Structure 1
Amino acid sequence: MPIQTTADRLKPLVGTLIDLFSLDAGGPLRMSAFDAPRLARLVDDSQWRSEGMDAVRALARSLPQNGEIPPVPLPTGFALPLRAYQQDGLAWLQFLREHHLGGILADDMGLGKTAQTLAHLLLEKESGRLTDPALIVMPTSLIHNWREEAARFTPDLRVLSLHGKERSSRFAQIPDNDLILTTYPLIWRDVETLRNQHFHLLILDEAQMVKNAQGRAAEAIREIPTRHRLALTGTPLENHLGELWAQFDFFLPGFLGDRRSFQRVWRGPIERHGDAERLDLLARRVRPFILRRRKEDVAKELPEKTIIIRPMDIEGAQRDLYETVRSAMDERIRQEIAAKGFQRSQIVILDAMLKLRQVCCDPRLLKSEKARKVQDSAKLALLMGMIPELLAEGRQILLFSQFTEMLALISAGLDKMHIPYVLLTGSTQDRKTPIDRFQRGEVPLFLISLKAGGVGLNLTAADTVIHYDPWWNPAAENQATDRAHRIGQKRQVFVYKLIVAGSIEEKILALQEKKAILAAGVLEKTQKEKLRFGPDDLASLLAPLPEVLR
Structure 2
Amino acid sequence: MADEVEWQSSMASLQSQEAFSEPYMVGFVIANIVGLQYYSGRINGREMVGLVREPLNPYDENAIKVVNTRAVQVGHIERAAAAVLSPLIDTRTIVVEGIVPNSRSGSNRFKIPCQIHVFASLEAFSQVKSAILRGGLVLIPDSDTSFGLSEAVVVKEQMGERQNKSVDQIFKLVDKNVRKKEKMEAVDPPREVIKSKLFVHQKEGLGWLLRRENSEELPPFWEGKDGEFINVLTNYRTDKQPEPLRGGVFADDMGLGKTLTLLSLIAFDKHGNPSSSMPDEEPLDPGVDNTGKKGKKRGRGKSNASGTRKKHKPDGFGVGVAEKTTLVVCPPSVFSAWVTQLEEHTVPGSLKVYMYHGGERTNDVNELKKYDIVLTTYSTLAVEEAREDSPAKKMEWRRIILDEAHIIKNANAQQSRAVSNLKARCRWAVTGTPIQNGSFDLFSLMAFLRFEPFSIKSYWRSLIQRPLSQGNKKGLSRLQVLMATISLRRTKNKELIGLPPKTVETRYVELSPEERQIYDHMEGEAKDVVQNLVNTGSLMRNYSTVLSIILRLRQLCDDVALCPPELRSFSTSSAIEDVSDKPELLQKLVAVLQDGEDFDCPICISPPTDFIITRCAHIFCRVCILKTLQRTNPCCPLCRGPLTQSDLYSAPQEASNTDGDTKTASPKSSKALALLSLLLESRQEDPNTKSVVFSQFRKLLLLLEEPLKAAGFTILRLDGSMTARKRTQVIGEFGNPDLKGPVVLLASLKACGTGINLTAASRVYLFEPWWNPAVEEQAMDRVHRIGQAQEVKVVRLITRDSIEERVLELQQKKKKLASEAFRRRPGKDQREVNVEDVLALMSI
Q: Which has the higher contact order (CA 8 A, sep 6+)?
A: 2
Task: Report which of the two has the higher share of strand.
Answer: 2
What TM-score do you get using the length of structure 2 for normalisation?
A: 0.33
